[in-house]
Structure 1
Amino acid sequence: MGSTLSRLRLTLVTFRAISAIYKELNERLKQTPGLPVSNPSTPYWAIPASPIAQHGSDATLPSEADILIIGSGITGTAVARTLLAQSDVPQIVMLEARDACSGATGRNGGHVTPLLYHDYAALKKKHGAEMAKSILKFRFTHIAELIQVSKDEDILADGQCRQVETFDVFFDQEMFDLAVQNLNGYLDDMPEQRRLWRVVGVEECVKDLQFSKTVVGAIATTAGAIHPYRFVTSILLRLLGSHPTSFQLFTHTPCLSISSSRSKDGGYTVLTNKGTIQARHVVHATNGWASHLLPAMRGKIVPVRAHMSAQRPGLGLGRTEGAGSQLESSPSASAGGSVLTLTDNPANNWLGTRSFVMYADGRYDYLTQQPSSPPVAEQSLYPPPAAEFMFGGGLAHGELAEQAFMDEVGVADDRDCSMETSAYLGGALSLYFGGWGAEGRDTESKSTDKPIIFGEESEEGRVKKLWTGILGVSADGRPWVGRLPAKVSGRPAPRGSSSLKQKHYLNQLAPPGEWISAGYSGEGMVHGLLSGNALAHMILGNADDVLPDAFMVTEARWKKAKIEDLVDGFVVS
């Protein structure tokens, strides 16, 4: 009887807590995310800052633009890059509320790790097998595409874009068994991919991967890793130099409001802190902040605060006993690019060649590592990396995992870090890895007692830097890409070509309108580049056969999507 009463009390307490969480959450979801805060935490990626970090912050805003892009992350940059590759280049203005690339792109974990087998069954059930395969192919293609863009832009060294071997590592037997079951179902429908996957036993997890003996198994495949901030800012720097008259970037220039006119000479009037600018096309590349300028998207794209850290790895990691292996790439047309193969590596130094996602007790944590001694470009603006562990997660921890998650939903303030999550991130890695060893030091430092600190902004202990970033979580789990219907934008599209000076190439563009590419749900590096490219082609009036139809913005989809379904799914799982 006492045991039953105890369980009942616990159930009631939990229900009461969950109910209070839901009530508070609903209130947050009704509110605007506002403008990005002016004094955010500093991500380690942005130390040192790019030369264009504050480009155009003191410049005078032009009176007009053909295309106005709001946001300077990977999406806005992809849109601008694709548009500027045309022979007849439109006049493009990019607005950024803070420093360049200061949103989610410049704050994420550096993963280019598409969710594939994880989502396949649910996507197949909801959209059918062919659409599910299209979505997963779109994600996977980003690995090869990001590497190709890095080569084309000559930024492989600074952007650190590379293939890695990635591991989903499990510390819960039930979760591991379910993952293997999902993998087998995925490979049954796509047998040509079997050679890209392998299940890793406990012995290899402990001996080679150096995880603790509490590990139960892992699933390995190919993925990518990247320095997202330097990738984007390097491209923007090149675009500003190669298109000085047709591309302008204004940082610290937040967009305050947008209005449109249906008159014969009407267009969009965009109000900023520097005055107004007229535009024919407006592109929303603001992800978690999208609903500030698009109130109808509240509850459709929701900001969620996430935590990241840069840490020195333990000195016991990186080299293991045995023959060892290293990763090399080989071409594979069926996989949409090159894939990883294992070759002999006598040193067995895996620093910078692997990424991990750890699953344990409802937690979902992710880890990449910067290279230890990469080639440095002759004209590089940056010092070499020091094999830093880039570790994020901790959203679901503690007795009430739901509360830990929901406390961050609807939060668009990336100034501060949660003390509980920060403490968790600071201590979890040495528990995940069984061979952590002594605390690490910066590999580029010649001193054993004092690490190199750029601009006095990183710490001297294990954790070099902690910061937060704002994700844009989609209510139905899919990105929102395309032209915004009037009911969603809240503004009618201009009828004519507006009172701006008519230019011959404008007839080649789509009719004036507002556009969006956002809502990547924490997976921006495997959605943002090609979504931005596709959006640019739509603005150019061209068809795009790469973007899955399920990502397109429609009024019917907008009406159907409800964030409550996503939250309920998290609680049930």
Structure 2
Amino acid sequence: MPSGPELTPSASRLSAWLDPPTKFAMFRTTSELPARADLVIIGSSFSGASVAYHALKAYPGLSIVMLEAGDACEGASGRNGGHLRPDFYTYTSKIATKYGPEEAVRLSKFERDNFEAVKRLIKEAGVDCETGHAGETWQVFLSQEELDEGLRELTMMRDLGGDVHDVKVYMRHEAVKVTGIQGCFGAIVSPGSPISPTKLVSHLIEQSLIRGLNLQTHTRVLRVALNQSNGAAPFSAGSNTTSDSESDEFERVDMNSLRIFPKKLSYLHKITTSRGTVLANKVVHATNGYIDTLLSMSSDVPGATNSRNSAVLVTPVRGHAVEVAPVGNRRKLSLDPNHNITTMDFHRGWEYLIQRPNGNFVLGGGRQFGMGNDTESLNNKTTLETEIEGSLDLFVRYFFTQTLCFDNAHYLAPPKTVFGDRGTNGDYSVDYKIVKQWTGTMGFSADDFPLVGKVPSGQEYCIVGFNGRGMPRIFLAAKALVRMILLEDEGYRYDCQYSSTIGSLPSNRIERKMDAAEYAYMPQCFDVTEERLTRMINLARLHNEAQL
């Protein structure tokens, strides 16, 4: 499919994580676009960088080309709210109903494993991405209904045997005492951390470049199609060449006696870009909310069409974020020195707040203050520039005066808000300085779960649609995807779980290389199957009909 509209964000709205730009922002490994590769990854944010990292860590020298339309890590990961918050319980009943109780526990464990794996990577590599400030995540409930719902989900996860040993509940009196939030009905507290996503992604890209990745920024993918050269360009793993001849043959690179890809196999895909063409055996789409601009998965399902009303399985949705410097009396999220609150969630996670090591706050959400539907005008920079000026300022004022309104018992009159006082006329005077304000585009799937796996037809794979929850899920989902690609190429069937791989693998091969026994798995609800795609198409069409 041809590409969609302009996807590059406005330079004047760089996020806190993109200013200054990363050292690989406009990087190109070679001046010319490689002619062929074992694997092409479209997208250079957390998903794409993680796929490259896991593949090249296991098999350095594997020929991988990463294509990025703009600067490296300029997309969703570079423009998010900067928090790494695993969720151990929120979706328990929904997943248990649809996939069974074991899957609900499995997703909870997956997010915990992902959180620990990312922390371990950062610590061992010495990456400075603000996670040294890790502490507590407080899910603050501003109504009795929200609190009751949260407690039901947590209790259900505990009853199912899920690991919630470090999840604590604070009822109203204690929660108000710690946070000072007058309207708080209670809170559920779990581990969490702020994070600079671009610093993490830059580390992954750097390690991959050392191991042979060819990164090509400012190279927009226009089309991915089957290669119709009729068997020309025999495939050879490990070859990364800029030759223009599609009939060249190469000596195979033997990776520890492992057939990474078939020796005699034509390059299956032709990737047309703004700078030329690349041939590849396998393609990974790591474009999150923009997957439908290049790949229509609904067309791979029997009965689906590409008509006007065809289903969009992943919808791009705009989110707002703002970095604020405190200038008033309140400088920390916790009033109790025994609590290191670094992140807060409100309204079922639709609004959130983190505190960076420099003391600044990053606030995300505020859709109710946007003009129009968040799926509209995503790529209209003029509209975006005009809208963000007023809406985010209004959001900041509302959030700090209405949501974070402190209990009067903790302060002298007049009552305090986070950054200011309430005047005698009842209005709030909020003292703050906006340092940065930006938007980012998330990918929301029709059934609320990511799509990670092989598209039903061909050799294309995807890791997209993380519904605003990419940071606590992507790293190990990418590892599972890499394992899937390698195992399927060896003739084994992959169905998410380590224990259910069909066949027996010799020692020192894929499984050992991938540390699969410990980590290379993913929840079943992430997997891309025809059955799931059919359900998603039906959900998307019902939504479309409701909008008419």
Q: Compute the TM-score of the two structures, normalised by the length of structure 2.
A: 0.74
C-alpha displacement of 1:514 = 1.0
Once the two structures are superposed, residues 1-34 of structure 1 have per-residue CA deviations (whole angstroms, 9 ceiling, x without a partner) of xxxxxxxxxxxxxxxxxxxxxxxxxxxxx99753
3-state DSSP class of the match of 2:187? strand
In structure 2, the partner of 1:531 is: 477
In structure 2, the partner of 1:273 is: 274
3-state DSSP class of the match of 1:464? strand
Work out the CA distance in 2 between the residues paired with 1:558 and 1:227.
Answer: 33
In structure 1, the partner of 2:96 is: 124
Is 1:480 the counterpart of 2:451 in the alignment? yes
State which drifts further: 37-46 or 429-438: 429-438
* Contact 2:444/2:466 (<8 A) preserved: yes
In structure 1, the partner of 2:466 is: 520
In structure 1, the partner of 2:397 is: 427
Work out the CA distance in 1 between the residues paired with 2:102 and 2:528.
Answer: 20
Work out the CA distance in 2 between the residues paired with 1:321 and 1:533.
Answer: 36
Work out the CA distance in 1 between the residues paired with 2:106 and 2:349.
Answer: 29
Is 1:462 the counterpart of 2:433 in the alignment? yes
3-state DSSP class of the match of 1:237? helix
State which drifts further: 292-301 or 414-423: 414-423
C-alpha displacement of 1:249 = 0.9
Is 1:366 the counterpart of 2:341 in the alignment? no
Residues 484/410 of structure 1: CA separation in 2 closer, same or farther (3 Å cut): farther
2:186 to 217, 234, 252: 217
The root-mean-square deviation of aligned C-alpha atoms, in Å, is 3.1
Work out the CA distance in 2 between the residues paired with 1:567 and 1:421.
Answer: 31
Residues 278/465 of structure 1: CA separation in 2 closer, same or farther (3 Å cut): same
2:523 to 548, 560, 565: 548
2:157 to 154, 173, 186: 186
In structure 2, the partner of 1:452 is: none
* Contact 2:109/2:163 (<8 A) preserved: no
In structure 2, the partner of 1:66 is: 38
C-alpha displacement of 1:102 = 0.6
The 5 Å alignment of 1:94-243 reads: 94-155=66-127, 157-160=128-131, 163-190=134-161, 193=164, 195-211=165-181, 213-240=182-209, 242-243=210-211
The 5 Å alignment of 1:395-474 reads: 395=367, 397=368, 407-409=373-375, 412-413=378-379, 415=381, 416=384, 418-419=387-388, 421-431=391-401, 432-433=403-404, 434=406, 435-436=416-417, 462-474=433-445
C-alpha displacement of 1:89 = 2.5
* Contact 2:131/2:193 (<8 A) preserved: no
Is 1:46 the counterpart of 2:18 in the alignment? yes
C-alpha displacement of 1:204 = 3.1
C-alpha displacement of 1:182 = 2.6
In structure 2, the partner of 1:354 is: 342
* Contact 2:130/2:356 (<8 A) preserved: no
Identity %: 27
* Contact 2:3/2:222 (<8 A) preserved: no
C-alpha displacement of 1:424 = 3.3
Residues 88/167 of structure 1: CA separation in 2 closer, same or farther (3 Å cut): closer
Work out the CA distance in 2 between the residues paired with 1:57 and 1:436.
Answer: 51
C-alpha displacement of 1:203 = 3.1
C-alpha displacement of 1:464 = 1.0
3-state DSSP class of the match of 1:541? helix
C-alpha displacement of 1:188 = 2.2
Q: Which amino acid aligns with 1:525?
A: M
Work out the CA distance in 1 between the residues paired with 2:373 and 2:470.
Answer: 22
Q: Compute the TM-score of the two structures, normalised by the length of structure 1.
A: 0.71
Residues 566/232 of structure 1: CA separation in 2 closer, same or farther (3 Å cut): farther
Work out the CA distance in 1 between the residues paired with 2:112 and 2:48.
Answer: 21
In structure 1, the partner of 2:362 is: 390
Matched residue count: 444
3-state DSSP class of the match of 2:291? helix
C-alpha displacement of 1:63 = 1.2
* Contact 2:2/2:294 (<8 A) preserved: no
In structure 1, the partner of 2:244 is: none
Q: Which amino acid aligns with 1:190?
A: G
* Contact 2:63/2:213 (<8 A) preserved: yes
In structure 1, the partner of 2:221 is: 255
Q: Which amino acid aligns with 2:68?
A: E
* Contact 1:481/1:531 (<8 A) preserved: yes
State which drifts further: 72-81 or 37-46: 37-46
Q: Which amino acid aligns with 2:231?
A: K
Residues 62/318 of structure 1: CA separation in 2 closer, same or farther (3 Å cut): same
C-alpha displacement of 1:465 = 1.1
* Contact 1:147/1:162 (<8 A) preserved: no
Residues 271/204 of structure 1: CA separation in 2 closer, same or farther (3 Å cut): same
State which drifts further: 68-77 or 415-424: 415-424
In structure 2, the partner of 1:453 is: none
Residues 94/279 of structure 1: CA separation in 2 closer, same or farther (3 Å cut): same
Return 5+ residue gaps in structure 2 as ranges: 233-265, 299-310, 407-415, 421-430, 489-493, 499-520
Residues 67/249 of structure 1: CA separation in 2 closer, same or farther (3 Å cut): same
Work out the CA distance in 2 between the residues paired with 1:271 and 1:36.
Answer: 17
* Contact 1:210/1:317 (<8 A) preserved: no
Residues 269/321 of structure 1: CA separation in 2 closer, same or farther (3 Å cut): closer
3-state DSSP class of the match of 1:117? coil
